[in-house]
Amino acid sequence: MEEKLIGKITHYFGKIQVAIVELTDAIKTGDKIHIKGHSTDFEQEVASIQIDHVNVEAAKKRDAVGIKVDQKVKEGDEVYLILP
């Protein structure tokens, strides 16, 4: 499986399970991502993306987005896009 680094997690809101990601590349709902860190390693589909608390279908490079995550993540974890 080929992967491409598309961002880094800058914050995590545990109660609502949302990660804030600083993007270095584009992302859209439906994409499969792989989140990796020292104690983090899982894959999931992107179900929702928010920019400034507004739902969006896609985000571009340099956007800071909120993504609902399936598991706990940490600041500094890397987000990879799983290429089809």
How many structural domains comprise the chain?
1
1 band by pLDDT with thresholds 50, 70 and 90? confident
pLDDT in tens, 13-32: 999 999 999 999 999 999 99
Task: Pick the closest to residue 33 from 72, 76, 83 (CA basis).
Answer: 83
Confidence band of 84 (pLDDT split at 50, 70, 90): confident
Residue range(s) defining the domain that contains residue 62: 3-82
CATH number for the domain spanning 76: value is 2.40.30.10
Strands (E), 27-77: 27-28, 32-36, 41-45, 49-51, 54-56, 58-59, 64-68
Distance of CA 36 to the CA centre of its chain: 11
* pLDDT tens, position by position, 31-73: 999 999 999 999 999 999 999 999 999 999 999 999 999 999 9
